[in-house]
Structure 1
């Protein structure tokens, strides 16, 4: 991505936190929305993803059994979800905890169709074993087992009336059967379809008086439910995957006031509306140019009056059911491999993304909403964004480059407009770069044909100055055909990257031939070659502040080059695999790099130090984009995931300053406690501050004072007794009480101090006295519950553990003697200062 030229003063960065991840949420298959229209459920491989419908945030994930989910259904009351997978297991999920409550085997073949009745009690499953079963969801047993279909069961649907207890099923032989659950028998066989029936639905406004069925035989059939009779057949001239009825009358804009409007979608990849009474088509969407998708499912949201269409290329498209089926929102379910990215929009609030598809995708960084732009006929391999954020250039495998104008405040269908086309390369375009500012309106492209072309963008000046003019500029005439200023062969192998310097005077190319080269923008003449890498060079970028460039290579290194003499100034090593991208940060004082090792690294240029490593990707990180102002960077790669990283350096600095101030305050408080001999608070604070030396000094002072009082008791301090007293093991009852009321983490920390003190002969008596105080006030169970209890006690009492095979023996046997100063002559200190107790003298 070309640099913006912003070289203002910047604080060196040291910390980035992942603020948001854009992951795969839909890989094809079933889509559902909760009855309250607040949660969206999508199939993602062997898992089911739960999303907040309004914000697009992931609320949870129902982790599957490693087998692909074949179907699922959500209870109308929203309490549970029932799923089926290729493992032949049915799982009932609690939608509060996202955990499986029960699981059972359903059929002898995968479940293809599923529906839950209006009471949230029964679930019907249709299987590839030609049978239909009905299950009590909460109790997990089969209530009905229906046989009769001669093929795969492709659709099941309960009648909406709770007292009907009727189930309708269809199979791939076109047969529709009606089952009475009370009488446990088939009451009707409807023969009209001649191919796979994909959809069964009932009219919502008259208690299911009409039934609509549709399938791959390119017809919609309307049935009178009471008579079980066919009333109308509507030819659609396309295989249908989903159909249903809208609630309420159609708006006047659709040209029909009929109470029943049928929607359908299928092979054409457009939504169509039909008047049920007349059978006439009242509206059909116009398919977008170069769009290749079909619709595989449609979910109707009656409260929002929206239709959510799932496409064959794993996208979810939201359409208004009242405003001529205008698209209101898009959610991309699966991104393939992310190849290139750039921040766009007036405030850099969106990210343009190139993936292994022909669509240009522009994500809002605030939610999962994504705009899709169709124009290329093959995979987009590279993109670059103008500093204004309003112009995007894309290069594709279809040998063309396109210029797009972006206005994210415009209506959905007019936010991205293709304004120009560059045709001339004979092979894939793998690198594009736009000049900076609006004085030089240029675009450089590099191709697999090893040539570089410089394109004149001056015909687009009006669009550059005001992107809102884009739609009117191309209306009628279509995209502008760009002209080249010059063409030359630049390298001996594929060109991977192109970057134009901030002053628009020099541009650089990086190639698989292990070199990067510098060229004059005005003439295309060579200015120098950057040689030194041992493998292909994946990216090149210019510093926004100095006459230097950076290259990233497959030899696992990053090199910094002087533009004055083309000499290598520094080499950065640290990635364990190919370095795929490198950019300047912090006014050219830092670098950020991405690699095939899945790592993102931040470097200080001055000392060549790697400041931090961000490890969240699971595969190659191909793409790197930085926001204007560098508050955020975004990375994307072969794991189909985009991570948005927030610069939290200042937050970390503020946190450290706050902690330092707090420590200083606590240190002063500790000194104040010691000054007034408030040992209770002093000990607690010393443990909180993790200051073993201060705690040791406190215990030494108190025990020494207690020894002196024991030698000449004055009785001045009520409650304090000499070290020989059982009431004051550590010289003061108050200190004994503090030791006996420690939190588990504080107790564990104290025992670690005792372990350390016990290795010093001069301090062992304090260590043993403290241990005695602990063992007399805590149960063995309490000490054993500490995470590092065994290691701590074993280190403190190595000799004793040799005599007791179990740790609780060590803690509960009465070999512990009174370790006060008056009893020190009853023990021996070995050379290491460890206390050994003669077990034979225990009595």
Structure 2
């Protein structure tokens, strides 16, 4: 019963407990050697994130210029970054602080590499030079010039105890520099396009270079000879060797156990492994369905034996070498606008998000791990989920709606999300979709072609989902005169409602598709419609900045909620239909109490329009998402706040009883301190009056009690400030001025000017008392003197 009553408690307070935000907007990505931290660039800032949990460790604020490249020491202690400001920044990764800033080159630094001892960093710049820097001491040790263009690749190499640096540039040359003699010892020419990657083999004898001319060259760098040219058949953006690992290589076949294996990544969007000796393709990852991304970089993480592919759509896709390039993790760097969200799973542990992308993103709410579901050819506009969260449907600009079977408990990555069918038939973008509420037997879609379609899902086999399944459309109706923005199905599966840019909402019969009624009254397009879970009413939100509730019996408007300052994009019911939650273009989420028409709470943590809302079944969490790329999770803390308020009231009653007891016992010390802590000036005034009026004969005290005089002389600065404020207020009333100035006399008699100066507001309080001192003129000289002394002391301090 307690749980039920708390569920029906009107919600008035929410707090944002977590967010899912962008961490990468393009550029360089680094993973520390211990595989604990992911470091990525977010515009001019650098985000340091725990790789395992997705928890933000540091946000390193940049110098207002875009970060061009960065590298982390092998020991993981420092990060070195470079930006278009032409400065190198050295960051302490443990503290998240900038420890050094160095003006480096005359043009932006494009690439950098750090040697294995964590001592030196090589920077390659657009000014055609390579500089070597001592990281800890912060000075330049080498300035290497010879290239005729932008430096595009740089790599340290230690061979036979000597240090070398290999560099590549857009002059198509590879150069080898001897750091001992500071001379260029080899110029390797064969490529016909910019060099994008360099690496040395495990034995140190061979250098591979990858270029945008679609080939990898193998060099005997000491002999300055080209040993092999391997066509890769794609524009190469990165190349590197895997460590010599017989067991790992053996997983791809016995013939590769002793091979030197290198990887490539480029415009095909695939990570590929190759044999150095023969140039044969060992393995390429499975292509992601309908993906069109390219790979800008591949990071080899030896600790976990994974290859992390950085894609041009700001995702980091991690492929396991031990599982033959199976995708084992994906990190979404940038969400763009989040246009729709829904909780998934039996326990609603995951959140599906449509984000101006062709891939559906499914986040684990706790860890913020994200799965990418490939299938659509164009961006997803809307989504809906079944009541149990095991099926999700997506509507896209590619004119289709797709069905997905979700099994979040399955440990097999491939079995967790399976394509279960495609609805093909609309002639324009599908902008709205809704699943049946009671069972997964049908779905309704709405399109820019202004039609709604009913799709029969009764023969869909969710036990053995089939991507080739094509549900049949049982009817198609011209529904509105403009784009359809929203569709929702009634809890009993008998009706569905649509909302359109034509300013109307309509109610339809599910079985026949017959129009039952039209709701007219909004002055702008209807963005969202939702059925009440308990009443025969429909809530709609509109571009006219209002939310309306409509009767489904006569289609009249029952209530209008005004308060948003821009288009209301989403609405949903809360608290068994007694409240509404709305989201708008003004960046606010509002909770409304239907009975009173009042806004019970405003949730403000977005900076741009809020497109999407998702309410968890237990209503303890509401998720909101929008154009600022942020997903906010709001926790209902109404019950918690009410319990705290009740507790405070109980404590207040107990303290008030204690105060009465202290006064009865004439325990003035505790009575005064308690009255001050309770901030009860009237009780305090009564106490001082009681003491003053019950003064014994021949008493020499100021207040009527030597004990009270002593208490006033020993008050803390904080309590003294509070009491002086009360005295000022009492003194404005002729009835209380005698007591006020008696207490003031006691304070001025027992506290020096130096003590009063320590009170921040003493000057203002005493100045405020001066106009009223004529009632007790005998104290005015004292007061003026104190005011003057405080004024003088304050001036002297300045």
- Confirm or deny a common fold (TM above 0.5): yes
Does structure 2 conserve the Cα–Cα contact (< 8 Å) formed by 1:327 and 1:413? no
Secondary structure of residue in 2 paired with 1:580: strand
> TM-score, structure 2 length as denominator?
0.91
Aligned to 2:241: 245
Shift of the 695–484 alpha-carbon distance from structure 1 to 2, 3 Å rule, reads: same
Instruction: Write the distance in 1 (CA, Å) between the matches of 2:598 and 2:162.
Output: 73
Secondary structure of residue in 1 paired with 2:375: coil
Secondary structure of residue in 1 paired with 2:287: coil
Aligned to 2:48: 50
Shift of the 758–78 alpha-carbon distance from structure 1 to 2, 3 Å rule, reads: farther
Does structure 1 conserve the Cα–Cα contact (< 8 Å) formed by 2:314 and 2:334? yes
Instruction: Write the distance in 2 (CA, Å) between the matches of 1:379 and 1:276.
Output: 40
- Written as runs of structure 1 = structure 2, the 5 A alignment for 1:577-616 is 577-616=566-605
The reply to whether residue 539 of structure 1 matches residue 528 of structure 2 is yes
- Written as runs of structure 1 = structure 2, the 5 A alignment for 1:821-836 is 826-828=778-780
Aligned to 2:394: 394
Aligned to 2:650: 661
Per the TM alignment, residue 653 of structure 1 is displaced from its structure 2 partner at its CA by 2.1
Instruction: Write the distance in 2 (CA, Å) between the matches of 1:106 and 1:416.
Output: 49
Deviates more, 1:690-699 or 1:480-489: 690-699
Instruction: Write the distance in 1 (CA, Å) between the matches of 2:787 and 2:40.
Output: 68
Aligned to 1:96: 94
Aligned to 1:14: 12
Does structure 1 conserve the Cα–Cα contact (< 8 Å) formed by 2:218 and 2:228? yes
Aligned to 1:718: none
- Written as runs of structure 1 = structure 2, the 5 A alignment for 1:355-754 is 355-410=355-410, 411-438=412-439, 441-460=441-460, 462-463=461-462, 469=463, 472-474=464-466, 478-702=467-691, 708=695, 711-713=697-699, 722-723=701-702, 731-737=708-714, 739=715, 741-742=716-717, 744=718, 746=719, 748-754=721-727
Shift of the 673–191 alpha-carbon distance from structure 1 to 2, 3 Å rule, reads: farther
Does structure 1 conserve the Cα–Cα contact (< 8 Å) formed by 2:675 and 2:681? yes
Instruction: Write the distance in 2 (CA, Å) between the matches of 1:380 and 1:774.
Output: 76
Shift of the 72–701 alpha-carbon distance from structure 1 to 2, 3 Å rule, reads: farther
Deviations 1:611-653 (A, max 9, x none): 0000111111111111122121111111111111122222222
Instruction: Write the distance in 2 (CA, Å) between the matches of 1:790 and 1:382.
Output: 63
Deviations 1:19-66 (A, max 9, x none): 211111111110111233211100111111110111001112111122
Aligned to 1:769: 745
Instruction: Write the distance in 1 (CA, Å) between the matches of 2:330 and 2:749.
Output: 66
Per the TM alignment, residue 326 of structure 1 is displaced from its structure 2 partner at its CA by 1.0
Instruction: Write the distance in 2 (CA, Å) between the matches of 1:7 and 1:233.
Output: 74
Per the TM alignment, residue 162 of structure 1 is displaced from its structure 2 partner at its CA by 11
- Written as runs of structure 1 = structure 2, the 5 A alignment for 1:774-793 is 775-776=751-752, 779=755, 782-784=758-760, 791-792=764-765
Shift of the 736–290 alpha-carbon distance from structure 1 to 2, 3 Å rule, reads: same
Instruction: Write the distance in 1 (CA, Å) between the matches of 2:337 and 2:170.
Output: 35
Aligned to 1:333: 333
Deviations 1:418-466 (A, max 9, x none): 211111111111111111122x611111111111111111121x31xxx
Instruction: Write the distance in 2 (CA, Å) between the matches of 1:723 and 1:789.
Output: 21
Does structure 2 conserve the Cα–Cα contact (< 8 Å) formed by 1:679 and 1:735? no
Secondary structure of residue in 2 paired with 1:533: coil
**In the alignment, which of 737, 756, 761 is matched to residue 729 of structure 2?**
756
- Written as runs of structure 1 = structure 2, the 5 A alignment for 1:154-173 is 154-159=152-157, 164-173=162-171
Deviations 1:199-243 (A, max 9, x none): 22344x65x554433222222334456656544433322122222
Shift of the 233–8 alpha-carbon distance from structure 1 to 2, 3 Å rule, reads: same
Instruction: Write the distance in 1 (CA, Å) between the matches of 2:353 and 2:726.
Output: 55
Secondary structure of residue in 2 paired with 1:827: helix
Aligned to 1:809: none
Does structure 2 conserve the Cα–Cα contact (< 8 Å) formed by 1:547 and 1:564? yes
Per the TM alignment, residue 793 of structure 1 is displaced from its structure 2 partner at its CA by 5.4
Instruction: Write the distance in 2 (CA, Å) between the matches of 1:531 and 1:109.
Output: 62
Secondary structure of residue in 2 paired with 1:545: coil
**In the alignment, which of 195, 198, 202 is matched to residue 196 of structure 2?**
198
Secondary structure of residue in 1 paired with 2:419: strand
- Written as runs of structure 1 = structure 2, the 5 A alignment for 1:290-305 is 290-305=290-305
Does structure 2 conserve the Cα–Cα contact (< 8 Å) formed by 1:118 and 1:162? no
Secondary structure of residue in 2 paired with 1:481: coil
Does structure 2 conserve the Cα–Cα contact (< 8 Å) formed by 1:703 and 1:730? no
Secondary structure of residue in 2 paired with 1:151: coil
Aligned to 2:283: 283
Per the TM alignment, residue 513 of structure 1 is displaced from its structure 2 partner at its CA by 0.8
Does structure 1 conserve the Cα–Cα contact (< 8 Å) formed by 2:662 and 2:671? yes
Instruction: Write the distance in 1 (CA, Å) between the matches of 2:52 and 2:728.
Output: 56
Instruction: Write the distance in 2 (CA, Å) between the matches of 1:37 and 1:689.
Output: 54
Instruction: Write the distance in 2 (CA, Å) between the matches of 1:202 and 1:285.
Output: 24
Aligned to 1:216: 212
Does structure 1 conserve the Cα–Cα contact (< 8 Å) formed by 2:756 and 2:762? no
Instruction: Write the distance in 1 (CA, Å) between the matches of 2:210 and 2:670.
Output: 78
Shift of the 189–670 alpha-carbon distance from structure 1 to 2, 3 Å rule, reads: farther
Instruction: Write the distance in 1 (CA, Å) between the matches of 2:446 and 2:250.
Output: 52
Per the TM alignment, residue 674 of structure 1 is displaced from its structure 2 partner at its CA by 3.6
Per the TM alignment, residue 108 of structure 1 is displaced from its structure 2 partner at its CA by 1.9
- Written as runs of structure 1 = structure 2, the 5 A alignment for 1:149-188 is 149-159=147-157, 164-188=162-186
Does structure 2 conserve the Cα–Cα contact (< 8 Å) formed by 1:399 and 1:428? yes
Shift of the 676–105 alpha-carbon distance from structure 1 to 2, 3 Å rule, reads: same
- Alignment coverage as a number of residue pairs: 779
Aligned to 2:38: 40
Per the TM alignment, residue 687 of structure 1 is displaced from its structure 2 partner at its CA by 2.9
Per the TM alignment, residue 116 of structure 1 is displaced from its structure 2 partner at its CA by 2.3
Shift of the 76–425 alpha-carbon distance from structure 1 to 2, 3 Å rule, reads: same
Per the TM alignment, residue 244 of structure 1 is displaced from its structure 2 partner at its CA by 1.9
Aligned to 1:812: none
Secondary structure of residue in 2 paired with 1:383: strand
Alpha carbon RMSD of aligned pairs, Å?
3.0
Deviates more, 1:682-691 or 1:499-508: 682-691
Shift of the 163–341 alpha-carbon distance from structure 1 to 2, 3 Å rule, reads: same
Deviations 1:527-547 (A, max 9, x none): 111111111111111000010
Deviates more, 1:110-119 or 1:634-643: 110-119
For structure 2, list consecutive stretches of 5 or more residues without a partner in the other structure: 791-798
Shift of the 671–731 alpha-carbon distance from structure 1 to 2, 3 Å rule, reads: closer
Deviates more, 1:658-667 or 1:121-130: 658-667
Does structure 2 conserve the Cα–Cα contact (< 8 Å) formed by 1:18 and 1:644? yes
For structure 1, list consecutive stretches of 5 or more residues without a partner in the other structure: 1-5, 464-468, 714-720, 800-818
Instruction: Write the distance in 2 (CA, Å) between the matches of 1:682 and 1:210.
Output: 87
Instruction: Write the distance in 2 (CA, Å) between the matches of 1:634 and 1:654.
Output: 24
Shift of the 315–838 alpha-carbon distance from structure 1 to 2, 3 Å rule, reads: closer
Per the TM alignment, residue 579 of structure 1 is displaced from its structure 2 partner at its CA by 0.7
Does structure 2 conserve the Cα–Cα contact (< 8 Å) formed by 1:699 and 1:730? no
Does structure 2 conserve the Cα–Cα contact (< 8 Å) formed by 1:251 and 1:257? yes
Deviates more, 1:341-350 or 1:131-140: 131-140
Shift of the 776–27 alpha-carbon distance from structure 1 to 2, 3 Å rule, reads: same
Per the TM alignment, residue 790 of structure 1 is displaced from its structure 2 partner at its CA by 6.2
Deviations 1:470-515 (A, max 9, x none): xx442xxx42112111111111111110111001111111011111
Instruction: Write the distance in 1 (CA, Å) between the matches of 2:568 and 2:465.
Output: 41
Secondary structure of residue in 2 paired with 1:695: helix
Per the TM alignment, residue 251 of structure 1 is displaced from its structure 2 partner at its CA by 4.2
Instruction: Write the distance in 1 (CA, Å) between the matches of 2:759 and 2:787.
Output: 22
